[in-house]
Structure 1
Amino acid sequence: MRVIVVGAGVIGLSCAIRLAEGGYEVAVFARDLPLETTSSVAAAIWYPYLSAPEDRVAGWSRSTYEEFAKLAELEPSVELRHGREFLVDRTPDPAWADVLPDLTRLTPPAGFVDGWSFTAPVIDMPAYLPALVKRLEAAGGTLTRAALSALPTGADLVVNCSGLGARLTASDPTVTPVRGQVLTVEPCGLTEWLLADRSPEELTYVVPRQHDVVVGGTSLPGDWNLAVDPQTTSAILDRAAELVPQLRKAKIIRQRVGLRPARPAIRCELVRTGSGEPIIHCYGHGGSGVTVSWGCADEVFELARSISPN
């Protein structure tokens, strides 16, 4: 059975790998190659964010956490790191807390009223995405750059993982951008991540990786601007350095912007065209693409099997 996967971000590649390793003949077509996608910009700490519905997101997140825990023993770009989150409101344990081995309440600093700590996967996306491509190719899959204004034909199954591109490929205007600006700085002795959000638009996160630290960020709905704003960079650094003083002297390596593909609810379902061709849509993951990637890939694989067990 020949499958075309549209999109080479973390969702598309994860789905393609599951299908290829499951015995399907898989070709990935994408306008943007992996290191050009929004996925490559992500701080990529496992954390469900800006995605719904809660129950399905929690399920996909659990499966993905378990997969990353295994990958951390094999893949250098995946690490399990301890960290803390500070909250401005009293907050019950999240729906996905049951997968965490060590969620612990903590006393937050001034300006916050609640908080917790836990161990989460942290993924170095500039290294992880090429590793996914190698894994796909090892399973017999291919990746080709292709500018598509509509879903391709000529396959037994098409899997649409086009992110914001689903506005075209699925004629779905409910997929909208949420702009995120981040910067990376040189390592400054940090080993633990930190999340602290005082407002929906202004996120504060500090995520150390093997060779750098990702500092963010923003969450601006409906903003298509991909240009880095220097004033935003300064504001991000100021907010982060209040909580992590080492960042004040850290050298900036790079500044980037990514557009999260938000949707009122993630779409992961099998449909058929008017003439009966099957399409699996898997898009609209908001800020949770990495966090739900393997769980969604598992569901896409099961949907493919419902068409053909291969």
Structure 2
Amino acid sequence: MSKVTVVGAGVIGLSVAHELAAAGHQVSVVASRDASASVSSVAAAIWFPHDVEVSGAVVDSGRVTYQRLEELARDPGTGVRMRTGTVLTRRPDPDLSWTRAVPHHERLAGGAGVRCTVPLVETDLYLGWLRASALALGVRMRTAEVRSVTKLLREDEPDALVVAAGLGSAALLGDDTESFPIRGQVVRLANPGLTEWFIDGDNPGGLTYMVPRGNDVVCGGTGEVGSWDEQIDPRIESGILSRVVALVPELAGQPVLSRAVGLRPARSRVRVEKVAGHDRPVFACYGHGGAGFTLSWGDAIRITELVGRVAE
């Protein structure tokens, strides 16, 4: 057993802490805000590698996460559901490499898209379940602003440290110029009884998706690269609703339940690796873009394996 500190309490940080504790490590999580206030809570949280380079490692992590979430869907208390829907394609040569991780999928006639069954996460339920599960494994959590990896190593004296703080990770590590935000805006409508989702990433009007959950439907969205603006834009919301209703007329006139903006923690590629330049092992696990829930368990296992090699 080794003592490990994890920085970050979003879906990535909590998943990493959970897997490290399950492997027998003594784990502490420190973050400036808990999961309910993180960008993870804003996500539509459907399994799909959005705003991330779909590399072989991403497909592998996505497959592992798909399998774990499919298992968790057997327990309604986790907030995970298996749902069927459609990824629309409007290009003649769409990248469908992600389908290698999806056991149940089929191409639509004429290349109009892919119909598949994937995990869907109700963020409030799932993040609460994940936090409780980590605590049950002995993970300790505290709220604090982390401004320096060096200072945290000195104060916590861990055997290893994992930086999984989303957009804040690059500044903490100080060796990364490849990270950037992608602004995502959503509006949540009352659910008139829909169960099937869709994603239309190449819609001429802009990114469009609709993800029905229990009592609401998450409608989006935007993909504004480099924007740090977290304010609701009524003009953008109007465009989102117009595009979504054009594809799903049943949503016309449904009341708005809530609105949100989140900044996806993007990077040229996901960073899951040991970081050089520290007197103790430091690992990075961030840059997941809009695929945090999609890659969470796979990358948590990758980090656990890296820490385990050091602890041997």
Structure 1 and Structure 2 fold alike (TM over 0.5): yes
8 A Cα contact 1:201 1:219, kept in partner? no
8 A Cα contact 1:51 1:262, kept in partner? yes
Using the TM superposition, give the Cα deviation of residue 304 of structure 1 relative to its aligned residue in structure 2, in angstroms: 0.9
- For residues 82-121 of structure 1, the aligned pairs below 5 Å read 82-91=84-93, 94-107=96-109, 114-121=112-119
- CA gap 1:233/1:67 in 2 versus in 1, 3 angstroms: same
Cα separation, 1, equivalents of 2:288 and 2:102: 21
Using the TM superposition, give the Cα deviation of residue 91 of structure 1 relative to its aligned residue in structure 2, in angstroms: 3.5
Partner of 2:19 in structure 1? Answer: 18
Cα separation, 1, equivalents of 2:204 and 2:228: 18
Percent sequence identity over aligned pairs: 38
Using the TM superposition, give the Cα deviation of residue 55 of structure 1 relative to its aligned residue in structure 2, in angstroms: 1.0
Partner of 1:290 in structure 2? Answer: 293
Using the TM superposition, give the Cα deviation of residue 222 of structure 1 relative to its aligned residue in structure 2, in angstroms: 0.6
Partner of 2:259 in structure 1? Answer: 255
Partner of 1:144 in structure 2? Answer: 142
- CA gap 1:274/1:167 in 2 versus in 1, 3 angstroms: closer
Cα separation, 2, equivalents of 1:202 and 1:170: 34
1:205 to 193, 209, 212: 209
Partner of 1:67 in structure 2? Answer: 68
* SS of match in other structure, 1:176: strand
Cα separation, 2, equivalents of 1:21 and 1:54: 27
Partner of 1:160 in structure 2? Answer: 163
* SS of match in other structure, 1:236: helix
Instruction: Report how many residues are paired.
Output: 304
Partner of 2:126 in structure 1? Answer: 128
Using the TM superposition, give the Cα deviation of residue 106 of structure 1 relative to its aligned residue in structure 2, in angstroms: 1.7
Write the deviation string for residues 120-140 of structure 1: whole angstroms up to 9, x where unpaired: 100011111111110010000
Using the TM superposition, give the Cα deviation of residue 146 of structure 1 relative to its aligned residue in structure 2, in angstroms: 0.8
Cα separation, 1, equivalents of 2:119 and 2:46: 6
- Are 2:59 and 1:58 aligned? yes
Using the TM superposition, give the Cα deviation of residue 199 of structure 1 relative to its aligned residue in structure 2, in angstroms: 4.9
* SS of match in other structure, 2:184: strand
The one-letter code matched in structure 1 to 2:194 is: L
Using the TM superposition, give the Cα deviation of residue 271 of structure 1 relative to its aligned residue in structure 2, in angstroms: 2.7
The one-letter code matched in structure 1 to 2:187 is: L
8 A Cα contact 1:179 1:220, kept in partner? yes
8 A Cα contact 1:178 1:219, kept in partner? yes
Using the TM superposition, give the Cα deviation of residue 274 of structure 1 relative to its aligned residue in structure 2, in angstroms: 4.2
8 A Cα contact 1:91 1:114, kept in partner? no
Using the TM superposition, give the Cα deviation of residue 102 of structure 1 relative to its aligned residue in structure 2, in angstroms: 2.4
Using the size of structure 2 for normalisation, the TM-score is 0.93
Cα separation, 1, equivalents of 2:3 and 2:270: 25
1:300 to 292, 295, 303: 303
8 A Cα contact 2:59 2:101, kept in partner? no
8 A Cα contact 1:263 1:285, kept in partner? yes
Partner of 1:243 in structure 2? Answer: 247
Partner of 2:34 in structure 1? Answer: 33
Cα separation, 2, equivalents of 1:200 and 1:40: 28
Using the size of structure 1 for normalisation, the TM-score is 0.94
Larger relative helix fraction: 2
- Are 2:21 and 1:6 aligned? no
Structure 2: segments with no counterpart, 5+ residues: none
* SS of match in other structure, 1:147: coil
Cα separation, 1, equivalents of 2:55 and 2:205: 21
